Amino acid sequence: MGHDHNHAPAPGATVSAGYRKRLVAVLAITVTVLIVQVVGALISGSLALLADAGHMATDSLGVVLALVAVTLAQRAASARRTYGWQRVEVLAALGNSLLLLGIGLYIVVQAVQRIGDPPEIRSGVMLAAAVLGLVANGVSLLILKGGQDKSLNMRGAYLEVLGDALGSIAVIVAAILIITTGWTGADVVASLVVGALVLPRAWSLLRDALDVLLENAPRDVDMAQVRQHILETDGVVDVHDLHAWTITSGSKALSAHVVVSEDALANGHGGRVLDALGGCLGQHFDMEHCTFQLESASHRTHEAPVHD
């Protein structure tokens, strides 16, 4: 027996679908600034600016991956793909996190190699390109802010742009130091700061994406409380084989074997128990897909011993 408590934004749609136009706008801004920063880095000789441009490049690719994932995720489910392509959004977030890790490590390695031997820097060009990057990133952050707490895919794009904005600030500070003091080592320091900003955010996104792919229980769901709510439902005697996971951002699922009293089963109250369970978990834990197997106490002896 099953019960589905639906909180989806629209039939067949994922949370990220509503932010597609925002992603397109951010992509246009990012690519434009990327070109300017690459040219500026080549002219100025600034590693920090080149690192910022490299981060912009991963931003661009990350947004492209997000757009592709959002588009694929809207495809209808089929007999083979019963959840459709919704999990593609999580794969895109995984790809974004790996890109961020790669660029962060590259920046750190290049910066370390320049310690003690910093090249000549054209700080004026460096400063102008970094300021442009900061302004563009600020606009992109405003565009993405509304969706970053609702979708893992949007969060990946938001974190990339946020890290790049902080990196632009570091480059600006370095450029000002070079202009006012002549200390070109500030470029190396700014490069290390950019790397330090990128790596923790990449790890956070990677961890969250792996949680979904490994079908760990959602971080905002306390399984002990879920079990307690089920046990407190009228007619329920016990619960086992309880599992919760995330299909994609904003779409949580749960399944459980629920032992119901003999009286409830004999009196045909199974439907009432299902409605109570679905309503309770939908209201308290925002579970979109809840599937319950109702059974008598004697049924436990027919199940595999690995069930919990």
pLDDT (tens digit per residue) in 20-43:
778 888 888 888 888 888 888 888
DSSP 29: H
Closest CA to 74 of 137, 19, 129: 19
Which pLDDT belongs to residue 303?
63
Give the Cα separation of 221 and 33 in Å (integer).
40
Say whether 248 sits in a helix, a strand or coil: strand
Across the strands, what pairs with 239? 258
Give the Cα separation of 268 and 286 in Å (integer).
28
Q: What is the pLDDT along the chain (308 residues), one digit of tens a residue?
A: 444 444 444 444 455 556 677 888 888 888 888 888 888 888 888 887 887 777 777 777 777 776 776 777 667 777 777 777 777 778 877 887 887 788 778 878 888 887 877 667 888 888 888 898 899 889 988 888 776 666 666 777 777 778 778 888 888 998 899 899 988 888 888 888 877 877 887 888 889 889 989 989 988 889 999 999 999 999 899 999 999 998 876 678 899 999 998 888 877 778 899 999 988 888 888 887 888 999 987 776 666 555 55
- pTM for the whole structure: 0.68
Closest CA to 146 of 15, 301, 236, 293: 15
Cβ proximity of 143 and 25 under 8 Å: yes
The DSSP result for 112-149, as a single string, is: HHHTT-PPP--HHHHHHHHHHHHHHHHHHHHHHGGGTT
Superfamily of chain region 15-213: Cation efflux protein transmembrane domain (1.20.1510.10)
What are the boundaries of each domain within the chain?
Answer: 15-213, 223-302
Give the Cα separation of 137 and 162 in Å (integer).
7
What is the residue type of 232? Answer: E
CATH topology for 223-302 is: Alpha-Beta Plaits (3.30.70)
Closest CA to 292 of 306, 273, 268, 266: 273
What is the residue type of 17? Answer: A
The DSSP result for 275-294, as a single string, is: HHHHHHHHHHH--SEEEEEE
CA 144 to chain centre: 13
